[in-house]
Amino acid sequence: MTKARLATVWLDGCSGCHMSLLDMDEKILEVAKVADVVYSPLVDTKDFPENVDVALVEGAVSSEDDLEKIQRIRKNSRFLVALGDCAVTGNVAAMRNLFGVRAVLDRSYRLTSVPAGSPPDQIVPRLLSRVRPLHEVVAVDLTVPGCPPSAGVIHHVVTELLAGRTPDVTDLTRFGA
């Protein structure tokens, strides 16, 4: 039996969703029996591979790099899950939309750093003018809100998807859960 190809991605989020994923503890071994994790902050692959069956994406789209990534992820994945409030709503990551990029960069690089510096213009990806939830940028197949969604919910989502069913999470999790 060929195993399903599973990917997990960390865009602009706090990694809490990945922590929650790891909180599955020993259940993760079950998942490993039916799926290969082909890409993840937890494994050592540089580029998002092709032919991914299920991609779990944590975090909002905040930088040019995020944007490129999510578009590639969409192209290469059959089923894309927006995992957690940042991916689903923008959440805390999107709170900077109220102030604008300029003000945010000034605050972190000029006003609060000693000695005052200036926002980087190389290496660090440029921020988009506006943080967006995934579905505003690409088509999303399932949204799983929660900050973070519990390990149980993530386990349910993954196992259902790997079994070829689309899970219904409406009664299991919610915004801010």
Could you tell me if 126 and 134 are in contact, meaning their C-beta atoms sit under 8 angstroms apart?
Answer: no
Q: Tokens standing for 149?
A: 């969604």
Q: Applying CB under 8 A, which of residues 78, 107, 110, 174 lies at the interface with another protein? A: 174
Q: Does 145 bind another protein (CB under 8 A)?
A: yes
Residue 4 contacts another protein per CB under 8 A: no
Measured from the CB atom, the residue of 35 and 128 that comes closer to another protein is 128
Strand locations in the chain (E)? 4-10, 35-39, 52-58, 61-63, 77-83, 127-132, 142-144
- For 103-125, give the DSSP string: HHHIIIIIISSSS------SSSP
Taking CB under 8 A as the rule, does residue 17 contact another protein?
no
Per-residue interface string for the shown chain with another protein, residues 114-143, x marking contact by CB under 8 A: ----------------x--x-xxxxxx--x
Residues numbered 71-90 forming contacts with another protein, rule: CB under 8 A: 71, 82, 85, 88-90
What end-to-end distance do the CA atoms of the chain give, in Å? 37
Q: Which residues bind another protein (CB under 8 A)?
A: 67, 71, 82, 85, 88-92, 94-95, 97-99, 130, 133, 135-140, 143-145, 147, 169-171, 173-176
